[in-house]
Structure 1
């Protein structure tokens, strides 16, 4: 079946439900964009007035108005005067066929219906709507996407290139850019994304694709310029604050990579202004700062995330880690404790609590939490190493066999 059929809509008319069901079954492989159905003429006329329809297939024998009357009304209306109409009749009745032709029938489906003749006739009727170049383009694009799903990147690249030989297309350029990026050909990928932007200067996917390629190439300043262009495009298109917030977040991450903390914070604050109610965005910005070693600056974003959603247990943990690395031990212990209230059986939270107690030289309590963590996960190597260090510091010679840890409270 031609892919172009998927853009078309058909109206099926028959007062007998089983007749409609049979027709829909026979036409399933066309994968029409819409398949409308009606069981009387008035319902069919309403659909034709309100909905886009490319082909009408109708029974002729209906009450109170027949398929012939439907055909007359279709030909009388300016909007539908040229609309193809297939009538289902017994073609042995030549007088009936002649009358239908005189009323403007475009063709016939012989009754009783058979699948292959129905499909053949409908396809022939719809081919007037098919642009062969567009059909070829769609075939190449479908093959390319299938190759991508199968991980066959060379075949995907070839299919996208073939599609672009048929016509210039933003979607084909974007697809080609993604494939070239995945194959590691960054120069060619950048060229593809730039071509996509020339075809559509507001394409956020093209902006993001080009920025990601520049980032991989180490051209971080260029990536920032591209993202700034994406922000301007998003604002011109009046995209949601969530979109511009994500762009500012990406720009902040790049500034952190360039060791530009102030500029990164400016972008993160812009992201907050654009999307102030999203706790996940606050967590991502806190994580980016924490991962870059800016623990004090991460506090603001973790705290805002918790204000938006006090049940984000993992944020208590991350903010606690940030406090611990700043030697704000009491604050860290408080937050680890809150996280443990949500997940008392999380060995990593227990380990973080113990690590904080180790830093505070509260060794007996650290031993208790490490023992609980190891009871939950005996293979937890970091917890075992820290416990060995704690016991050594307490005066036990672990290498000679440490005494059993204290009982789990």
Structure 2
């Protein structure tokens, strides 16, 4: 069988949010709705994502996966009472879950039920589902009047999230309330610095995007490398994504590799690293990052289909077939994936 890149690049093109959200499927299944919803959430398109999860629930109301993601969307949209009802239903379906407990604790905090927020979030301190668990617990303690416990939790959050200016602001307030002026001044300084850096990052993104669109690559590289922070995996990932969006995949490799080393659990770093290697036709090197991305987000269609395409290009048909079949279940209307699957199945029959 002749293996060409053209058809598989068309598969990868199907990863864009706009294409996924606009595609029409006559009878999509739960997996397709779930996959589309997760991709929309990745771009913070919560209204559209919520619609996908609702359609999945209409097919099977007992499936906790779309219900959980639907609840997260509702929370992100500020529909807190609806979100709580959905999380409670997930708990009825699956039993106790630290993820559901985390979100219910955040909802308690938003409704000023500090005692319940402390109880829920405090039960997660040994195995927190997300790094900001300690931050929300600290805020709940402070608002409840327990300044000492709140300060301790916020100090722990500052170690886990050193670049989150919200944490330093709350910790500065706590220190100030406790009369610890020198420490409060330090945290206020960090808050101002990180907030300004956040604003500067937005400015740098605009400048980098503009340079990549209008300038020669050598000139654009100088502009974009202002974002290169060797200690910040998120900025490195963002830099790699900007290069990749502009088609400068070779330029994207270095920042994405360093981002993945700094944060081995960053789905975005691994996924975009795999995309860059694939676009450069370096399939053997694309495989490991994509396998890692799929392990981190098994229902993200873009990573699954790209891993299947990579295995196909490497000539590993037996490994590619189940991966592409899973991709087809996640997005059954992708005609390019169907075409490759038919070739693989025909080859197996022969």
Q: Same fold (TM over 0.5)?
A: no
The structure with the largest strand share of the pair is: 1
Larger radius of gyration: 1
Whichever structure has more helix as a proportion of its residues is: 2
Please report the TM-score for the alignment, with normalisation by the length of structure 1.
0.36
- Greater relative contact order (Cα < 8 A, sep 6+): 2
Query: TM-score under structure 2 normalisation?
Result: 0.41
